[in-house]
Amino acid sequence: MFFKTIKFKLTLWYVVILGIILSSFALFLYVTLADSLYRGLDNKIKTMAEVIASSVRSPLGGGPSITDIDRIMTEHFGIRPLGRFIQVLDESGRVGGRSTNLRNVKIPVSVQTLKEAARGRVTFETIKGMGEYPLRVVTLPVIENGRMAGIIQVGSSLEGVEEALHQLLLIMLIAVPAALLVTSLGGLFLANKALRPVDGITQIARRIGSGDLSQRIRIKRVNDEIGRLASTFNEMIAKLQESFRQVKRFTADASHELKTPLTILRGEVEVGLKKKRNLGEYRQILASNLEEIDRMSRIVDDLLTLSRADMGEFKLEREEVDLSCLAREVWEDLQLLAQEKGVHLQYMNDGFSKVEGDPLLLRQLILNLVENGVKYTPSGGEVELRVRGSLEKKTVIIQVSDTGVGIDQEDLERVFDRFFRVDKARLRKTGGTGLGLSICRWIAQAHQGQIGVESLPEKGSTFTVTIPMKD
Which residues contact ligand ATP by CB under 6 A? 368, 372-373, 376, 402, 404-407, 415, 420-422, 427, 432-438, 461
Phi, psi of 162 (to 5 degrees): -60, -40
Minimum Å gap between C-beta 385 and ligand ATP is 12
Give dist(CA 246, CA 39) in Å, integer. Answer: 85
What is the distance, to the nearest Å, from the Cα of residue 307 to the centroid of all Cα atoms in its chain?
34
- For residue 422, the partner it binds in Mg ion, ligand ATP, none, with Cβ less than 5 to 8 A by kind, is ligand ATP
- Closer to ligand ATP by CB, 85 or 416: give it: 416
The enclosing H or E element of 357 equals strand 354-357
| Cβ atoms 382, 407 nearer than 8 A | no
Q: How far is the CB of 1 from Mg ion (least distance, A)?
A: 60
Closer CB to ligand ATP, residue 53 or residue 387? 387
Q: Does position 461 bind Mg ion by CB under 5 A?
A: no
Task: Output the smallest distance, CB 335 to ligand ATP, in A.
Answer: 18
* Residue 155 DSSP label: E
Q: Candidates 113-121, 172-180, 394-402, 432-440: pick the segment binding Mg ion (CB under 5 A).
A: 432-440
User: 347 and 328 in contact (C-beta within 8 Å)?
Assistant: yes
175 CB-near residues (< 8 Å, 6+ apart): none
Rounded Cα distance between 49 and 58, Å, is 14
**How many chain residues are in contact with Mg ion, going by CB under 5 A?**
2
Q: Which does 373 bind (CB under 5 to 8 A by kind): Mg ion, ligand ATP, none?
A: ligand ATP
Where are the strands (E) in 212-343, listed by range? 319-322
Tell me whether residue 64 or residue 434 sits nearer to Mg ion (CB atom).
Answer: 434
DSSP string, 296-315: HHHHHHHHHHHHHHHTT---
| Minimum separation from the CB atom of position 255 to Mg ion (A) | 20
Q: DSSP characters for 392-447?
A: TTTEEEEEEEE-SS---GGGTGGGGSTT--S-HHHHGGGT--S-HHHHHHHHHHHT
The angle subtended at Cα 239 by Cα 235 and Cα 245, nearest 5°, is 145
Q: How far apart are CA 384 and CA 349, in angstroms?
A: 11
Min dist CB 401 to ligand ATP, Å, is 9
427 binds, among ligand ATP, Mg ion, none (CB under 5 to 8 A by kind): ligand ATP
Indicate the residue among 357 and 436 with the shorter CB distance to Mg ion: 436
Closest distance to ligand ATP from the beta carbon of 286 (Å): 23
Residue closer to Mg ion, measured from CB, 59 or 460: 460
Nearer of residues 35 and 408 to ligand ATP, judged by Cβ: 408
Distance set, CA 355 to CA 367, 385, 397 (Å): 17, 18, 11
Rounded to whole angstroms, the Cα distance separating 267 from 270 reads 5
Sheet holding 135-144, edge to edge: 95-98, 84-90, 147-157, 135-144, 123-127
Q: Which residue number, 380 or 431, has a Cβ lying nearer to Mg ion?
A: 431
Q: Which residue is nearest to Mg ion (CB)?
A: 436
Contact residue for Mg ion among 96, 97, 141, 436 (CB under 5 A):
436
| 195 three-class SS | helix
For ligand ATP, give the closer residue by CB, 386 or 421: 421
Name the nearest CA neighbour of 444 among 420, 465, 415, 422. 465
Rounded to the nearest whole angstrom, what is the least distance from the CB of residue 413 to Mg ion in the complex? 16
Q: Should residue 261 be labelled a site residue for Mg ion when binding is judged by CB under 5 A?
A: no
Task: For Mg ion, give the closer residue by CB, 250 or 420.
Answer: 420
Write down the least CB distance from residue 246 to Mg ion, Å.
20
Rounded to a whole number of angstroms, the CA Rg of the chain reads: 53
Closest distance of CB 419 from ligand ATP, Å? 8
Q: Which does 87 bind (CB under 5 to 8 A by kind): Mg ion, ligand ATP, none?
A: none
The answer to whether residues 375 and 432 touch, using CB atoms and an 8 Å cutoff, is yes
Instruction: Report the nearest approach of ligand ATP to the CB of residue 369 (Å).
Output: 8
64 binds Mg ion (CB under 5 A): no
CB closer to ligand ATP out of 270 and 458: 458
User: Could you tell which of ligand ATP, Mg ion, none binds residue 434, using a CB distance below 5 to 8 A set by kind?
Assistant: ligand ATP
Q: CB of 2: closest distance to ligand ATP in angstroms?
A: 59
Give which of 114, 111, 108, 118 is closest to 149, Cα–Cα.
Answer: 118
Q: Which is nearer to Mg ion, 406 or 436 (CB)?
A: 436
Query: Which amino acid is present at 163?
Result: E
Q: Which does 99 bind (CB under 5 to 8 A by kind): ligand ATP, Mg ion, none?
A: none
| Residues between 365 and 404 that touch Mg ion (CB under 5 A) | 372
Instruction: Give the interface with Mg ion as residue ranges (CB under 5 A).
Output: 372, 436
